[in-house]
Amino acid sequence: MNQLGMTREEFAARLSVSKRTLDKWLLPSESSDFRALPEMGRAYIQEILTWRSHNSGSVSGLMR
């Protein structure tokens, strides 16, 4: 998110989810509150990163 110049709140809004939902997606999988990022969300994030890298330089390593 820092590489995109967005706060967690802004990134969550871009994904049309609450910050709390985003926070749970970002937790380590060992956490009891962890929730897996839906494939649709992962695809949308990849689309954002791809668009961003083509329009403002390389964004590498964020979605591995």
Q: Please state the domain extents for the chain.
A: 8-56
What is the average pLDDT across 59-64?
Answer: 48
pTM of the complete model beyond 0.75: no
**In angstroms, rounded to a whole number, what is the distance separating the alpha carbons of residues 1 and 59?**
11
Q: Which positions ≥6 away from 31 have C-beta within 8 Å?
A: none
Does residue 62 surpass a pLDDT of 70? no
pLDDT of residue 61: 47
pLDDT of residue 58: 47
**Residue 56: DSSP 8-state:** H
Residue 50: pLDDT band (50, 70, 90) is confident
Residues in the chain: 64
Does residue 14 surpass a pLDDT of 80? yes
